[in-house]
Amino acid sequence: MNLTKYQTNARKLRTLLAKIVCASMLLVTSVYSQNPQPPANYQDNGACPFECCTYRRWSVVKDTVLYQSRSEKSGVVFRVRKGEHVTGMTGVVITLKPGKAAVRKATTIGEGKRKTRVKPGDVLYLMHYLGEGFYKTWFRGVFYDLEMSTTIQVLTEPDTVWWVKVKNNRSQVGWSKQNDNFGDMDSCG
């Protein structure tokens, strides 16, 4: 008699544990599908990350080393000196760590066919700054150029690096992440 009661309780316990495991798996799957993570080390080729940023003829405001590729270990190609000019050809903004913004009030983000509703508590990942309060933003697998407003609050800024590709007057081409060493990048100023 005790053995039967023990077996019945053991079956009930196994059933309960199986239900708990299944519920846990559903919860984890649901949370992941609602909040997937943005891509690691996202690279935005051609990005110029501020208002009126333009690739064109730039002045050199500080002596700068240019590398063969987007790595300081790739070898020096040439150096430019303060007062010289180079041509800013293109650039790449690399997001090392996305920032975060919180939705405070339900709103629609995106344009045209790429619109989606966001609700309070949703987290938007900030990939990099675009200028004038706009960010390249990632939400549930889709990128948006989004203006921050009272409905969306920036919690943390993204950690980014901007590599620029420039050409000197001898047609040598190199890369630098010392973009503050160049002037005349702003077509509005």
Closest C-alpha among 86, 47, 46 to residue 63: 86
Per-residue model confidence (pLDDT) at position 112: 86
Do 19 and 90 sit in the same domain of this protein? Answer: no
Q: Is the pLDDT of residue 23 over 70?
A: no
Task: Find the domain containing 11 and state its range.
Answer: 1-34
With contact defined as beta carbons under 8 Å apart, do 79 and 64 qualify?
Answer: yes
Q: Is the pLDDT of residue 92 over 70?
A: yes
Please indicate whether residue 10 or residue 130 has the higher confidence score (pLDDT): 130
Task: Reduce the DSSP state of residue 115 to 3 states and report it.
Answer: coil
Q: Is the pLDDT of residue 5 over 70?
A: no
**Domain presence at residue 14:** yes
The total number of structural domains that make up the chain: 2
Distances (CA, A) of 77 to 69, 108, 164, 183: 9, 47, 14, 21
Do 135 and 67 sit in the same domain of this protein? Answer: yes
φ and ψ at residue 5, rounded to 5 degrees: -65, -40
Q: Which two tokens stand for residue 125?
A: 């990942």
Do 126 and 52 sit in the same domain of this protein? Answer: yes
Do 86 and 145 sit in the same domain of this protein? Answer: yes
What is the DSSP code string of 16-35?
A: HHHHHHHHHHHHHHHHHHHS
Q: Is the pLDDT of residue 9 over 90?
A: no
Q: What is the pLDDT of residues 122-163, one digit of tens each?
A: 999 999 999 999 999 999 999 999 999 889 999 999 999 999
**For residue 10, what pLDDT band results from cuts at 50, 70 and 90?**
low
Q: Is the pLDDT of residue 114 over 90?
A: no
Whole-model pTM: value is 0.77
**For residue 113, what pLDDT band results from cuts at 50, 70 and 90?**
confident
Task: Count Cβ atoms below 10 Å from residue 58 Cβ, excluding itself.
Answer: 21
Mean pLDDT of 20-29: 45
